[in-house]
C-alpha cells in the first residue's frame, strides 16, 4: 500500500522526518509536496492528497500543516476521505478502529518528531473494527445520502 504524504511550509520539516522514518520502516511513501519552507496555501496540498486518496492512488494519507486543523478541514470536503486530526497514540488508534480514518493530520508546530512517528506508526498499524462502527461511518457521507439518516 502506498502512503501519500503532503504538507504546507509549516509542516515541511516534519514531513521530511516522517517520510524518512516511514521509508526506513519499509513503507512506500509518495511525497506530494511542498518542496521547501516557502509560504504556500495549505488547501492546495490537502486537495491534492485528498484527490489521490479518493481516486485510489494511495490507501492512506498523511497531511501536516502548522496545527493540522486546516489540512483536516480541507481534506474532509472530499467524498470518501475521512481525515482525522491526531495528537497522540490514543487518538490515532481510535481514528482507525472506530472511524476508519484514511488520512492522518498532524500539526508540525504541535508535535515533536518522536510523538509524530509514534502517531504515524499507530495509525498505519491499526485496523478498522467494522461492526457497529461501519454503520456510523456510512452515515458520515451526507452528500451521497441526503441528510445522512
Catalytic residue among 9, 65, 86, 105: 65
User: What residues make contact with ligand RB5 under the rule CB under 6 A?
Assistant: 8, 10, 42, 65-67, 69-70
DSSP at 66: S
Q: In residues, how long is the chain?
A: 149
Grid cell locating 126: 491499526
Q: Which is nearer to ligand RB5, 62 or 100 (CB)?
A: 62
In this structure, how many other beta carbons lie within 10 angstroms of the beta carbon of residue 113? Answer: 13
Catalytic residue among 27, 87, 98, 133: 98
- Whether 105 is catalytic: no
CB of 96 to ligand RB5, least distance (A): 22
State the alpha helices, DSSP H only, in the chain: 12-24, 42-54, 69-75, 89-97, 113-125, 132-138
Q: Which is nearer to ligand RB5, 58 or 70 (CB)?
A: 70
CB 78 within 8 A of CB 53: yes
Q: Which is nearer to ligand RB5, 67 or 99 (CB)?
A: 67
- Whether 98 is catalytic: yes
Amino acid at each position: 500500500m502506498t502512503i501519500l504524504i503532503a504538507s504546507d511550509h509549516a509542516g515541511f520539516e516534519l514531513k521530511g522526518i516522517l517520510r524518512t522514518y516511514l521509508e526506513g520502516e519499509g513503507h512506500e511513501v509518495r511525497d506530494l509536496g511542498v518542496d521547501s519552507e516557502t509560504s504556500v496555501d495549505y488547501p492546495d496540498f490537502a486537495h491534492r492528497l485528498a484527490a489521490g486518496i479518493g481516486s485510489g492512488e494511495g490507501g492512506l494519507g498523511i497531511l501536516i500543516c502548522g496545527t493540522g486543523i486546516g489540512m483536516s478541514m480541507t481534506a474532509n470536503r472530499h467524498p470518501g476521505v475521512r481525515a482525522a486530526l491526531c495528537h497522540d497514540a490514543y487518538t490515532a488508534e481510535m481514528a482507525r478502529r472506530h472511524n476508519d480514518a484514511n488520512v492522518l493530520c498532524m500539526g508540525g508546530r504541535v508535535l515533536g518528531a518522536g510523538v509524530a512517528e509514534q502517531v504515524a506508526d499507530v495509525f498505519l498499524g491499526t485496523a478498522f473494527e467494522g461492526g457497529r462502527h461501519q454503520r456510523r461511518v456510512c452515515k458520515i457521507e451526507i452528500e451521497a445520502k441526503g441528510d445522512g439518516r
